[in-house]
């Protein structure tokens, strides 16, 4: 009797465990059946959102049959295109990426992903050109490694170029405050970012006006109380500077070229530069 009681003691938990397993299998089987029906119904109704949702859930529970896998791939393509047209670009890219990871992908899928990535990168770069660095970086960071494995390199190059232009602008501001007009002009002429060039336009105009006034008045005095001046014919220097300015040369390069043509060399003395032979 004791042996029978002991056996019952061990059999009871085992029976409970078996029952739980059978119940779970029944639940999973029932859920698979529902998902299979949903997948077929969504295909018939052309409900691509429901098709992708039910197909992907079913794929997590069991291997899809060949027809089911083809249906899921078709729905992924259509839904990704719908997302892209609706402006939900990252959703479109992520969905197409999942298609590329499946055996149903074709060459056209890879070509489509590459084209969409290119368009999204162009959009990010346009934000960058408009001065919206943070927006551009945020867009680029959304790419996965498969979508753009070089995104971090591009982000770094944009940030480096942005910071260089910011530093050049700050340098031009400091030189302007010190009335080192030619040096300020050289700094501001190195700006190569559209937004920074537009942002610096008033400062550039002020600096150009000052350098033209210096060239026109033949002012070469520096911090040595006027002891160091131009020693080339000032009228000739002024005439040649104006000639080069009419040919679209910027004031600094017009000044350097005019000095060179007169056999001189531009030399820096304190806050100003002079043309000396």
Q: pLDDT, tens digit, for every residue of 192-249?
A: 899 999 999 999 999 998 888 877 655 443 433 333 455 677 778 878 887 877 776 6
Domain boundary at 159, 174, 198, which? Answer: 159
C-alpha span between 203 and 197 (Å, rounded)? 10
Looking at the DSSP assignment, which residues form a beta bridge with residue 266? Answer: 275
C-alpha span between 41 and 153 (Å, rounded)? 46
253-262 long-range contacts, CB within 8 A, separation 24+: 254/215, 255/182, 255/211, 255/215, 259/232, 262/232, 262/233, 262/236, 262/237
Domain boundary at 159, 187, 209, which? Answer: 159
Residue 166 placed within a domain: no
Backbone angles phi, psi at 266, to 5 degrees: -75, 125
The verdict on 251 and 146 lying in the same domain is no
Residue 225 placed within a domain: yes
**pTM greater than 0.85 (yes/no):** no
For CA atoms 169, 172, 176, 182, the dihedral sign is: negative
- Residue 21 has what pLDDT? 46
Q: Are 82 and 48 in contact (CB under 8 A)?
A: yes
What confidence category does residue 267 fall into, taking pLDDT thresholds of 50, 70 and 90?
A: confident
> Nearest CA to 148 among 117, 181, 116?
117
Give the strand pairing for 265-269 and 272-276. Answer: antiparallel
Look up residue 4 and give its two tokens: 């029978």
Total domains in the chain come to 2
C-alpha span between 51 and 82 (Å, rounded)? 14
Of 141 and 30, the structure prediction assigns the larger pLDDT to 141
- Residue 40 has what pLDDT? 83
What confidence category does residue 20 fall into, taking pLDDT thresholds of 50, 70 and 90?
A: very low
If you average pLDDT over every residue of the chain, what do you get?
82
Angle at 154 between CA 151 and CA 155, to 5 degrees: 85
Residue 165 placed within a domain: no
What confidence category does residue 27 fall into, taking pLDDT thresholds of 50, 70 and 90?
A: very low
Domain boundary at 117, 142, 159, which? Answer: 159
The verdict on 224 and 137 lying in the same domain is no
C-alpha span between 105 and 99 (Å, rounded)? 6
Angle at 102 between CA 99 and CA 103, to 5 degrees: 125
Domain range holding 25?
15-159
The verdict on 225 and 145 lying in the same domain is no
What confidence category does residue 129 fall into, taking pLDDT thresholds of 50, 70 and 90?
A: very high
Residue 57 placed within a domain: yes
């Amino acid at each position: 009797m004791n042996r029978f009681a002991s056996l019952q003691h061990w059999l009871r938990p085992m029976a409970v465990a078996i029952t739980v397993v059978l119940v779970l299998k029944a639940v999973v089987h029932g859920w698979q059946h529902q998902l299979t029906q949903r997948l077929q119904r969504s295909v018939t109704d052309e409900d691509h959102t429901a098709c992708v949702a039910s197909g992907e859930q079913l794929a997590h529970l069991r291997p899809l049959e060949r027809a089911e896998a083809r249906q899921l791939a078709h729905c992924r393509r259509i839904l990704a295109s719908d997302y892209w047209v609706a402006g939900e670009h990252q959703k479109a890219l992520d969905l197409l990426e999942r298609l590329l990871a499946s055996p149903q992908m074709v060459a056209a899928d890879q070509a489509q992903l590459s084209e969409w990535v290119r368009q999204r990168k162009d959009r990010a770069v346009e934000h960058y050109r408009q001065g919206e660095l943070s927006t551009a970086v945020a867009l680029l960071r959304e790419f996965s490694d498969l979508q753009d494995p070089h995104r971090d390199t591009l982000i770094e190059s944009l940030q480096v170029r942005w910071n260089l232009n910011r530093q050049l602008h700050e340098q031009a501001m400091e030189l302007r405050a010190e009335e080192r007009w030619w040096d300020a002009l050289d700094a501001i002429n190195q700006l190569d970012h559209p937004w920074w060039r537009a942002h610096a336009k008033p400062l550039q105009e002020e600096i150009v006006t000052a350098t033209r006034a210096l060239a026109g008045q033949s002012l070469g005095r520096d911090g040595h109380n006027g002891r160091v001046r131009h020693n080339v014919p000032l009228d000739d220097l002024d005439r040649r500077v104006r000639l080069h300015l009419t040919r679209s040369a910027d004031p600094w390069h017009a000044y350097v070229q005019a000095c060179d043509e007169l056999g001189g060399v531009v030399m820096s003395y304190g806050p100003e530069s002079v043309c000396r032979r």
